């Protein structure tokens, strides 16, 4: 990593703007810039980002597990089995015709059709 004196004016401006933005969330940066210099302040910003990075990694892992579970549920659902799909789709169509309400037909018949493999 370059020291502060080796940076160009554009790089100094970018780092300075980022420090001002980071100071909104970490007010102790101003004290560290005075006490230890810009290198210490940048190190504090990176150290303070560690919990955020771990939180994002946990959320990403949960999202991957959710997508994997959804793929398994959809593969085992009635929509993957033509005989069951035709029966449930016909009931959904009949409910749509009799009630004239797409919301009623889709709210009651479509979830059971898509998730019956996951619920068993």
In a shared domain, residues 72 and 96: yes
In a shared domain, residues 70 and 89: yes
Per-residue model confidence (pLDDT) at position 97: 81
Instruction: Please report, for residues 78, 94, 95, 104, 105, the alpha-carbon distance to residue 98 in angstroms, rounded to integers and kept in the order given.
Output: 23, 6, 5, 11, 10
Beta carbons of 62 and 52 less than 8 angstroms apart? no
In a shared domain, residues 115 and 58: yes
Check the CA dihedral 67-73-76-77 and report its sign: negative
In a shared domain, residues 78 and 40: no
In a shared domain, residues 57 and 29: no
Domains: count for the chain: 2
The residue range of the domain holding 57 is 53-119
- CA distance between the termini of the chain: 56
Per-residue model confidence (pLDDT) at position 68: 94
In a shared domain, residues 40 and 68: no
Report how far residue 100's alpha carbon sits from residue 103's, in angstroms, rounded to the nearest whole number. 9
Per-residue pLDDT of the chain (120 residues), as tens digits, is: 677 677 788 988 888 888 788 777 777 777 777 787 777 877 888 888 888 899 999 999 999 999 999 888 778 766 677 766 677 777 777 777 877 777 777 777 666 666 665 544
Q: Taking the model in full, what pTM does it have?
A: 0.48
Q: CB neighbours (10 Å) of residue 48? A: 14
Per-residue model confidence (pLDDT) at position 120: 47
In a shared domain, residues 112 and 59: yes
In a shared domain, residues 59 and 87: yes
In a shared domain, residues 44 and 69: no
Per-residue model confidence (pLDDT) at position 71: 87
In a shared domain, residues 114 and 58: yes
Per-residue model confidence (pLDDT) at position 104: 74
In a shared domain, residues 103 and 78: yes
């Amino acid at each position: 990593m370059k020291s502060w004196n080796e940076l160009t004016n554009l790089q100094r401006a970018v780092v300075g703007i980022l420090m001002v933005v980071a100071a909104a969330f970490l007010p102790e940066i101003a004290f560290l810039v005075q006490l230890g210099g810009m290198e210490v302040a940048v190190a504090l910003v990176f150290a303070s980002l560690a919990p955020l990075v771990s939180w994002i990694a946990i959320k990403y892992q949960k999202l991957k597990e959710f997508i994997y579970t959804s793929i398994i549920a959809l593969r085992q659902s009635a929509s993957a089995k033509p005989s069951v799909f035709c029966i449930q789709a016909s009931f959904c169509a009949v409910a749509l015709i009799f009630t004239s309400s797409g919301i009623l037909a889709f709210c009651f018949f479509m979830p059971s059709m898509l998730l019956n493999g996951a619920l068993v």
